[in-house]
Structure formats: structure tokens, C-alpha cells
Amino acid sequence: MARTCDLTGKKGLVGNKVSHANNKTKTKKLVNLHSKKVFDPATNSVIKLKLSASAIRTLDKVGSISKYVKKNIHLFE
């Protein structure tokens, strides 16, 4: 799935850009994605993921990807 965060599942949004004359044109708001290599101490391996900026900040806060998955198991069911 292109342009989707591998951890949080965030996708882009589609909306209208409205001019002063009330003309509406479609626009896309894309997710701020980055390719990131994440070390998983539980399996001693490096995983390459496409993560949103908010997911990277969350991983920094939680500490590791295995802790994140345990804490947010409802997202992966």
C-alpha cells in the first residue's frame, strides 16, 4: 500500500480547495512519510518501515517497536 504508514495505518485525505468565487477543486493532503530502519531488540533484527513523522516521535517516546506493538495491540488485530 503506497503512501500509508506501516505502524499507524495513516493515509492521505482528499478534500476541496475553495476559492473566493466558491469554485471547488479537488486536493490531496498526503502523510509525512519517511523510510526508516528500526532496530527491534526482541528479535535482534533491523526492520525497514515507511513511517509517518508522528509514528517516529511515538517510537522515540515508547523506546522500541516491540513495546509499541504490545501497547497498541488493538491496532494489529
Q: What is the pLDDT of residues 21-66, one digit of tens each?
A: 999 999 999 999 999 999 988 889 999 999 999 999 999 998 888 8
Cβ burial 18-37 (10 Å sphere, 16+ → b, else e): eeeeeeeeeeeeebebeeee
Q: Evaluate if residue 8 carries a pLDDT over 80.
A: yes
pLDDT for residue 1: 58
Answer yes or no: CATH 2.30.170.40 is held by domain 13-76. Answer: yes
pLDDT band at 70 (very low <50, low <70, confident <90, very high): confident
pLDDT for residue 25: 98
The residue ranges of every structural domain in the chain are 13-76
Question: Contact at 8 Å (CB) between 57 and 68?
Answer: no
